[in-house]
């Protein structure tokens, strides 16, 4: 195609303008031609050269001074004017991308992948459900996929529950969005809206496509095909956005694809409801109720002083208060009693409880109970683990921040059981053995100190205790 001498380098021709065109037409002409001459938009083999010539022409003609110099060059040139390649005609408006569910054209389409899980006893199948969706249809599809997973996914062994949780969480947050696929699709949709005269929507879609490009991670090694395609697409989108020349801050399209969408709380409510049902079932299960560990042997809270052999006249263990636990569970919340169990006033200082027998006192061993770092008083029993039934040997009151030494104990096995008089909590120590040996140097016996359960790094382990074992 030949041009007159007033256009020696073909600048006006590649812009699609006459040399007499006004300055106000240059920018609009450049935008129009940039869309159709970009190498990735036009399949012709010479579009790269034409696109470079277009940018060069715009740089010269958009500046009044350089344009005047170019026009002057045209009037002085006597050389043969080179032929400029033919500028292709404006192509037809492309077909828009539509929602695969409702079939409507969307200004914010997305390629989304949801997850559906189905289990068949020992076989669990994860199925991706992909498509191009508008935001409303995507939310409906997420609910449908999750409903299928709730019904059919969880009961497969062993992967059903694992895959079900993964699918439900993915669907709840809107599925997964492949970044490169979405970037290419949004770039195409931006070109469609530009072609129908909606540059504002085209600008917003181009920016969304660029954001998806940035989500494709960089690699430290040699770039792969996906990264090369990403970089090329990002440059094209930048050129397209610059050609539109629209202030994006004033025309930004509000996104309808937030993580917390309108149906997010339906997903969340279903998950919370199932968790609540499972938790209530576990709590109400008989096995879930706490039962304090039993002592090492049957227990009677009656001192051995009441029965020399620990048995009643019939030869059976003295009846314990086994029914106390049932009765206790029906009582009102714990309230500290104003008197000791036998009706006597509580001692003022650490001492034995008045009126209670003191047995196993024929030895030399000592046990010191340290309540020095606790803020509450305790009622304590030293229990003798002998014969067929464990029985209290000593009963003691120890105020807060105090200690007490039990002396003259006979050798044998014992444990310590006590009540926190502020809270009513019962505890039991592990068993301990007191020994007594006579040598030529004299009698050697055990001297032990026990710190109670609230003391950090105490020197003995403690266990919960049921009421009938105190």
Q: Quote the tokens at residue 339.
A: 């008197």
* 466 or 91, higher pLDDT: 466
Fold adopted by 304-469? Immunoglobulin-like (2.60.40)
Looking at the chain, the domain(s) classified CATH 1.20.58 span 179-244
In the numeric block, the tokens 């001074």 are attached to: 65
Per-residue model confidence (pLDDT) at position 155: 85
What backbone torsions phi and psi does residue 346 show, to the nearest 5 degrees?
-70, 140
Give dist(CA 297, CA 305) in Å, integer.
19
Copy the structure tokens of residue 24: 């106000």
CA dist., res. 74 & res. 205, Å (int):
41
Alpha carbons 383 and 426: distance in angstroms, whole number:
14
Tell me the pairing of strands 462-464 and 391-398: unpaired
What helix, strand, coil percent values describe the chain, rounded to 5?
Answer: 35, 20, 45
Which two three-digit tokens encode residue 399? 């105020």
Mean pLDDT in residue range 9-33: 81
d(CA 370, CA 290): 28
Choosing among 2.50.20, 1.10.1060, 2.40.30, 1.20.58, the CATH entry for 179-244 is: 1.20.58
Contact of 468 with 329, CB cutoff 8 Å? no
pLDDT at 220 over 70: no
Taking the C-alpha atoms of residue 149 and residue 162, their distance in angstroms, rounded to an integer, is: 11
Q: Give the pLDDT band (50/70/90) at residue 180.
A: very high
Bridge partner residues of 426 (DSSP): 419
Task: Give ranges for CATH 1.10.287.110 in the chain.
Answer: 11-76
Q: At the topology level of CATH, where does 11-76 sit?
A: Helix Hairpins (1.10.287)
- Predicted confidence (pLDDT) per residue in 52-71, tens digit: 788 888 888 888 888 888 88
- Tell me the pLDDT tens digit for each residue of 360-409: 999 999 999 999 988 999 999 999 998 899 999 999 999 999 999 999 99
Residue 213 pLDDT > 50, yes or no?
A: yes
Q: What tokens were used for 408?
A: 């003259």
Residues 6+ apart with CB under 8 A from 345: 339
Structure confidence at residue 318 (pLDDT): 41
DSSP string, 326-394: HHHHTSPSP---SB-TTSPBPPSSSEEPTTS-----SS-EEEEEEETT-SS-EEEEEEE--TTSBEEEE
Q: What angle do CA 263, 264, 269 make, to 5 degrees?
A: 100
pLDDT in tens, 428-448: 999 999 999 988 888 899 999
Residues 6 or more apart in contact with residue 224 via CB below 8 angstroms: none
Query: From CA 239, how far away is CA 36, in angstroms rounded?
Result: 12
Domain with CATH 2.60.40.1120 in the chain: 304-469
Residue 334 CA to residue 343 CA, distance in Å, equals: 18
What's the pLDDT score for residue 426? 92
Mean pLDDT over all residues of the chain? 82
Q: CA quadruple 292, 295, 298, 304: dihedral positive or negative?
A: negative
Rounded Cα distance between 380 and 449, Å, is: 14
- Inter-CA distances, 394 with 103, 380, 410, 417, 448, Å: 86, 8, 12, 11, 16
Residue 281 confidence class, pLDDT cut points 50, 70, 90: confident
């Amino acid at each position: 195609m030949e041009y007159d001498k007033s256009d020696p380098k073909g600048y006006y021709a590649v812009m699609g303008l006459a040399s007499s065109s006004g300055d106000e037409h240059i920018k609009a002409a450049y935008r129009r031609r940039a869309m159709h001459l970009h190498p990735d938009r036009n399949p012709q083999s010479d579009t790269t050269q034409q696109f470079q010539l277009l940018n060069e022409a715009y740089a010269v003609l958009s500046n009044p001074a350089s344009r005047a110099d170019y026009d002057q060059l045209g009037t002085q040139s006597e050389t043969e004017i080179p032929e400029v390649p033919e500028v292709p005609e404006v192509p037809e408006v492309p077909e828009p991308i539509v929602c695969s569910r409702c079939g409507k054209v969307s200004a914010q389409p997305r390629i989304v992948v949801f997850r559906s899980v189905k289990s068949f006893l020992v076989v669990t199948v994860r199925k991706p459900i992909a498509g191009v969706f508008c935001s409303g249809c995507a939310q409906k599809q997420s609910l449908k996929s999750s409903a299928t997973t709730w019904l059919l996914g969880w009961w497969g062994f062993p992967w059903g529950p694992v895959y079900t949780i993964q699918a439900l969480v993915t669907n709840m947050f809107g599925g997964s969005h492949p970044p490169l696929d979405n970037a290419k699709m949004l770039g195409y949709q931006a070109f469609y809206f530009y072609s129908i005269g909606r540059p504002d929507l085209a600008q917003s879609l181009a920016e969304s496509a660029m954001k998806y490009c940035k989500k494709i991670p960089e690699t430290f090694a040699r770039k792969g095909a996906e990264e090369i395609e990403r970089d090329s697409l990002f440059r094209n989108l930048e050129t397209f956005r610059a050609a539109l020349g629209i202030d994006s801050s004033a025309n930004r399209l509000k996104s309808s694809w937030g993580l917390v969408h309108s149906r997010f709380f339906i997903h969340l409510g279903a998950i919370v409801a199932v968790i609540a049902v499972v938790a209530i079932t576990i709590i109400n299960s008989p096995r879930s109720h706490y039962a304090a560990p039993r002592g090492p042997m049957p227990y009677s809270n009656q001192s051995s002083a009441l029965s020399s052999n620990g048995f009643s006249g019939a030869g059976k263990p003295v009846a314990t208060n086994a029914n106390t636990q049932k009765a206790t569970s029906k009582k009102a919340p714990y309230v500290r009693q104003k008197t000791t169990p036998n009706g006597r006033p509580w001692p003022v200082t650490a001492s034995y409880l008045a009126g209670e027998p003191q047995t196993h006192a024929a030895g030399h061993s000592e046990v010191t109970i340290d309540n020095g770092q606790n803020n509450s008083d305790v009622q304590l029993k030293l229990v003798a683990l002998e014969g067929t039934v464990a029985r209290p040997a000593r009963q003691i009151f120890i105020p807060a921040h105090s200690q007490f030494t039990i002396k003259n104990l006979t050798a044998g096995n014992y444990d310590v059981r006590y009540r926190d008089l502020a809270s009513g909590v019962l505890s039991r120590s592990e068993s301990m053995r007191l020994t007594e040996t006579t040598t030529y140097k004299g009698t050697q016996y055990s001297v032990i100190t026990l710190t109670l359960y609230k003391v950090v790094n105490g020197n003995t382990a403690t266990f919960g205790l049921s009421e009938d074992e105190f």
